[in-house]
Amino acid sequence: MLNDFINQVGPSTVGGLASGAIYALIALGYTMVYGVLRLINFAHSEIFMIGSFAALFVINLMGITGPLSGIALVGTMLLLLLASMAASGGAAVVLERVAYRPLRRRGASRLAALISAIGASIFLQELFALVIIPEVFDRPSQGRNQVPVPRLFDRETVFSIGNTDIRNDHLFIIVAAVAMMILLDVFVNRTKIGRGIRATSQDPETAVLMGVNIDSIIRTTFFVGGAMAGVAALLYAMEFENLRFNVGFLLGVKAFTAAVLGGIGNLRGALLGGLMLGLIENWGSIFFGSEWKDVIAFTVLVLVLLFRPTGILGESLQRARA
């Protein structure tokens, strides 16, 4: 058993960090929206899914079928990043406008918004399964099957530590995710819009009195959270090279867990929670087998919440910062 652990701990850590980075990017969307609205946006998993298909759409449009390298690769990646961020961010804004704002305006309860979110989630999944995948991606009557994504760059081992090979794709995911987090952290903590977001999450009424345009702040929050899911979507499409209409479901549950684990409403908590969840899953499966990884992850979640009900970095809910 210990021998297994020593043999597998290195590769498991790399795999865990890579999946954790993707969880963390998606978790940001949950945590930001929760911060300003005290609402769990359960359609966020579909925002992710839309971003991943947007990336595939551009890949098909550009006629890419095999691995790229050099300038072409960098240019393509930037373009894909832009496309998936715009698609996910845009979809999140539309979702807010269509599914949440009308309810908010009428003073509906948060439960109503939750039902609206679940409805939007099912609507978007079925829209892709029944219309968009068969029609736009030209796979008639195969809307529920997986759609392959061509390989964007060759996978190579960049360097090795002991028996652990660090691959370029894993490195890229971890670096890209952490870079995005730092950018977002700066945006929220240093810019005027960021201050508006923080103000709204602390006390919406006072924020309005201080001249913050709440609707615009909420729209921005949805856009930024969506755009982060878009980054995750591109990384996911690139790494796993298979998309499905319900690709967001399981990841959404995991990312939501990561957000709660780290402390929902806290940006750095999302990063910490995501990476921890990825690592716990992969380390746990060394000992107990991969079928136990969800059990282990959720046991840890329950244990953490028993001792810290607001998550690892969470403050008391009333004062949670975005």
Partner 1 sequence: MRSTIARLGGVVAAGTALVLGLAACGSGTEEASPTGAQNGDGVTTLKIGFMGDLTGANSALMIPPSQGAQLAVDEFNAKSTKVKVELVKYDSQGNPDQAVTQVQQAITQDKITALVGPGFSGESRNVGPILEQAKIPSISASATNPALADNGWKFWHRVVANDDVQGPAVAEFLVKAKSAKKAFVIDDAAEYGAGLGDAVAKGFESQGVKVERDKIDPEGSDYSSTVTKVKASAPDVIFFGGYYAPLGRLLKQLRDGGVTAVVSSGDGSVDQALVEGAGKDAAEGAVLGCPCLIPFGSDVPELKTFSDNYKAKFGTDPLIYATEGYDAMSAFLKAIEAGNTTSEKINEYLSTIDFKGVSKQIKFNPNGEIAASVIHIYEVKDGNVTWLGDTSKAQLS
Binding site for partner 1 (CB under 8 A): 4, 7-8, 11-12, 15-16, 18-19, 141-146, 148, 151, 155, 165, 167, 169, 236, 240-242, 244, 246-247, 249-250, 281-282, 285-286, 289-291, 293-294
Least distance CB 142 / partner 1 (angstroms): 7
Please choose, from the candidates 85, 50, 32, 53, the residue with its C-alpha nearest in 3D space to the C-alpha of residue 222: 32
Q: Is 148 helix (H, G, I), strand (E, B) or coil?
A: strand
Q: Which is nearer to partner 1, 69 or 145 (CB)?
A: 145
Q: Which is nearer to partner 1, 17 or 272 (CB)?
A: 17
Please choose, from the candidates 317, 13, 6, the residue with its C-alpha nearest in 3D space to the C-alpha of residue 165: 13
Least distance CB 148 / partner 1 (angstroms): 5
Residues 6+ apart with CB under 8 A from 195: none
Six-digit token string for 210: 């201080």
CA distances from 63 to 6, 94, 146, 152 (A): 44, 29, 19, 12
Q: Which is nearer to partner 1, 19 or 116 (CB)?
A: 19
Q: Are strands 164-167 and 157-161 parallel, antiparallel or unpaired?
A: antiparallel
State how far the Cα of 231 lies from the Cα of 237, in Å rounded to an integer: 10
Q: Which is nearer to partner 1, 33 or 279 (CB)?
A: 279
Q: Which is nearer to partner 1, 200 or 285 (CB)?
A: 285
Indicate the DSSP class of residue 165: E
Site of tokens 């990825």: 278
Return the number of other C-beta atoms located less than 10 Å from residue 283's C-beta: 18
Least distance CB 115 / partner 1 (angstroms): 23
Least distance CB 264 / partner 1 (angstroms): 23
Q: Which is nearer to partner 1, 96 or 281 (CB)?
A: 281
Q: Is 158 helix (H, G, I), strand (E, B) or coil?
A: strand
Least distance CB 157 / partner 1 (angstroms): 8
Least distance CB 49 / partner 1 (angstroms): 12
